[in-house]
Structures are given as structure tokens and as C-alpha cells.
Structure 1
Amino acid sequence: MTEYKSEEQKRTFYKSGAWNKLRQQALDRDNHECQQCKREGKVHVDSKKVEGERKTIELNVHHKYEIEHYPQLALVLDNLETVCLNCHNKVHNRVFGEQKKKRWDDEMW
């Protein structure tokens, strides 16, 4: 079984034809909409390609069970979910542009 522990192994996987094909199937299945936003009653769809401009990235296809820990599920469609960048960052506990919650709420002296 293939392992996806190193950054190089992950990069190779995410550039593969098998991943690109499965990723497109997940996007099509999820109607190019963020599934987490949908559960929250919101709509976040993919950007439209404008001729002569680079398409902005709005959506990611997320592994519910990460390939690093569950390599056997790396190419399983049911393990994939379309999410917007904001929801994907929340899932991975990445915060950009705002302060992370302080560890201590103690008063400063």
C-alpha cells in the first residue's frame, strides 16, 4: 500500500491523473458547491472562468479521513467532500487574517 507521510509523497499524489479524475467526480457529485456551507443553510459555489483571466480557487476537495492516516481511502469517492477554502481551513484549524483565540483570558498586570 502506498504511504502519504512526506510532503513529496502527498504532492505526487495530488498531481496524479487518478486524483484529478476522482476530484472532478466529487465536484460534479457535489454540484460544485461547498457541502459545509450547504449544511449551514448557505450557498458557496465555484467561481466562473473569465476569458483571459486566471480562475480564482474557491473550492477544495477534502478527504474526510486524511490520506496520511488512511492511505487506503485516498481514492475512495465516499471519503471526499467539496468544501470552500474557508471551511477547509476551519476543518484543519488554520486561521488567516484574524487573531487566534488567546490561550489565557487572564488580566494583564
Structure 2
Amino acid sequence: MSGTELFCNEHADELPAYQERMNKMHQHIASHTKDYNSNVRYRSKERSKRESFYHSSQWKKLRLFVLERDNYLCQYCLRFGLVRPAKIVDHVVPAQAAPELMTDISNLVTCCNTCHRAKTEWEQRFYHTGYQDEKRSIKADILIKNLSELPNFSK
């Protein structure tokens, strides 16, 4: 077997099946790439700026500080006596509703996946935030800054 052949003589009959699998895989990847590239993610400069912040060294330092401050425990669950490990740092008041609070340590808490998902859905209904509500105006006049005033997301 030379270095350019895929299969030795003993397994040469497996080559057509292998090539068929590879063709299907390449077609799937090409289709997925086309779909992925057609999706507009950052419709506005404000959103693009906000999203790029999460890759900055400032955010990484803030995030680590909050995780350590909260002992890597979900603060939304703790309000109801549940102790859950967590790795997500969440804005109590969403950054989209109050950009001025984006780096405010008192507006950042550690939360678990369950609470983060539930809170994001709640924010979309309450504040009209999120990617789906691009044309709706954000309700920034009623900002809930106190954890005790938020609903129970840990259910």
C-alpha cells in the first residue's frame, strides 16, 4: 500500500461505500454552512457592540469575579433554598434594557442553565428583549434590580 491509497488491497472493496459516506457528509456540511451563513445575527451596531463585549478581557475579569463572589452557585435558586452549581453570569437587568448597567457588579449574578433559560424567556415577555423582538420597543422604564422581586426561575 502506497501513501496515496486510502485502503489496502485487502479492503479495496470498501472504497465505494467510504466515498459515498464522504460525499453525503460533504453535502450535509455544505447545506448546513449555507443555512448558517444566511442567518443574520447582529442586525444593529448596538447589538454587535454588545455581543463583542462578551469576548473582551474586561468581561472575562468581571465574570470570574462574580463566579468567585457567588461561589459558583446559582443565586436565583439560592433565594428558594436550592443549592445548584452554576457557571453562567447573568445580568439581573438585561443589558439590552439598561446598557449602562452592563458592567455594574451589583447587576451581575451567577446562575444555572435552568434559571438562565427561564429568565431569558421571562425577559423577552416582560422587557421585550431578545433577537425575536427587534421591532418592538424595549420596556426600560420598569427595571427590576432587586433579586427578591424577580419570579422563581428555578422550578
TM over 0.5: yes
SS in 2 for 1:92: helix
Q: Does 2:101 match 1:73?
A: yes
Given that 1:67 and 1:73 are in contact with CA atoms closer than 8 Å, whether structure 2 keeps it comes out as: yes
Question: 1:52 — aligned with what?
Answer: none
Q: Which residue of structure 2 lines up, in the alignment, with residue 63 of structure 1?
A: 91
Calculate the TM-score normalised by the size of structure 2: 0.47
Amino acid at match of 1:91: K
Contact preservation (8 Å) 1:5, 1:68 = no
Q: Give the superposed CA RMSD.
A: 2.0
Query: Secondary structure at 2:121's aligned position in 1?
Result: coil
Percentage identity across paired residues of the two chains: 35
- Residue 50 of structure 2 aligns with which residue? 10
Structure holding more helix per residue: 2
* Runs of 4+ residues over 3 Å off in structure 1: none
Q: 2:118 aligns with which of 90, 98, 108?
A: 90
Greater C-alpha radius of gyration: 2
Letter paired with 1:76: D
Specify which structure has the bigger relative contact order, considering alpha-carbon pairs within 8 angstroms and separated by 6 or more residues.
1
